[in-house]
Amino acid sequence: MTLKEFFLENSRAALAFSGGTDSAYLLWAAHESGADVRPYFVKSQFQPAFELEDARRLCRQLGKELRVIELDQLGCGEIASNPPERCYYCKRRMFAALSSAAGAEGYSLMIDGTNASDNDGDRPGMRALRELGVRSPLREAGITKARVRELSARAGLFTWDKPSYACLATRIPAGTPIRWEDLAKVERGEAALSALGYRNFRLRLRPWGALLQFDAAQLAQAENNFDEIFELLSKDLGEIRIDPEGRKGD
């Protein structure tokens, strides 16, 4: 099935919209097909401010009205305690809230931006999507992440080369309770590194401070500029270390 065929068969849907590369292209494709697809953004403690800004910017570019759903994820003990299955509980709670809001506005089908490069092993929350009947048009059409970026660039979307971004909760080790103050530290630290020009990195909290993981393209630069990074982050985060093996996973 192609995306065009999907939207011909499903011309009215609600989109779980993150402002990332995948959901941005999916919204554009739906718009181009003439389908009535309404974007919904979940705003919780796990999403940094720039994600909502990007979502709003993309919706303005396409002339779409963005629905923002406020959700207190830390109010759920199964999520805040940060068990190994946290992503499942988080996704289930998030998509239940999205489906409820969308259903109240007449949208019975929920779709998301999971692509054909994603698999169940990489995305523990996939089980929650299946249980709630969420469909993933990019995956169904066999469109990979690389292809999404290629098509997004062709479409003129500013998100075409946006680095993949996992929620702030992934920066805290499983089993360590998630606190708002720690999420705020991560957001501040990652914003500061972005302001220095770093992309595609992670700041992970540890008991002793923070472990920074950069991709191969910027690892040497970060190591050479460690003093600057340390001075910028250490007052907020304590001891700072750079992972010599670079970034892996989320």
Residue ranges of domains in the chain: 3-161, 179-242
Mean local confidence (pLDDT), 75-87: 95
Average pLDDT over residues 22-51: 96
Tell me the one-letter amino acid at 15: L
Specify whether domain 3-161 bears CATH 3.40.50.620: yes
Other CB atoms within 10 A of residue 105 CB: 10
Q: In Å, what is the CA distance from 92 to each residue of 12, 85, 114, 174? A: 22, 11, 15, 18
pLDDT at 194: 95
| Cβ-Cβ contacts under 8 Å for 110 (sequence gap 6 or more) | 13, 14, 15, 16, 95, 98, 99, 102, 132, 133, 134, 135
Contact 83, 175 (CB under 8 A): yes
Q: Is 30:63 a contact under the CB 8 Å cutoff?
A: no
Edge-first strand listing for the sheet containing 209-214: 201-206, 209-214, 239-242
> Would you say the pTM of this structure is higher than 0.95?
no
**Res 123: pLDDT:** 61
Of 44, 97, 38, which is closest to residue 67 (Cα–Cα)? 38
State the DSSP string of 210-237: EEEEE-HHHHHHHHHTHHHHHHHHHHHH
Mean pLDDT of 104-124: 84
Question: Measured between alpha carbons, how far is 27 from 29 in angstroms, rounded to an integer?
Answer: 5
Q: Tell me how far apart the alpha carbons of residues 207 and 221 are, in angstroms, rounded to a whole number.
A: 26
The amino acid at residue 132 is L
Convert the pLDDT of each residue in 177-199 to its tens digit.
Answer: 999 999 999 999 999 999 999 99
Q: What confidence tens digit (pLDDT) does each residue in 141-181 have?
A: 999 999 999 999 999 999 999 988 889 999 999 999 999 99
DSSP run (H or E) holding 41:
strand 36-43
Dist. CA 151–CA 181, nearest whole Å: 39
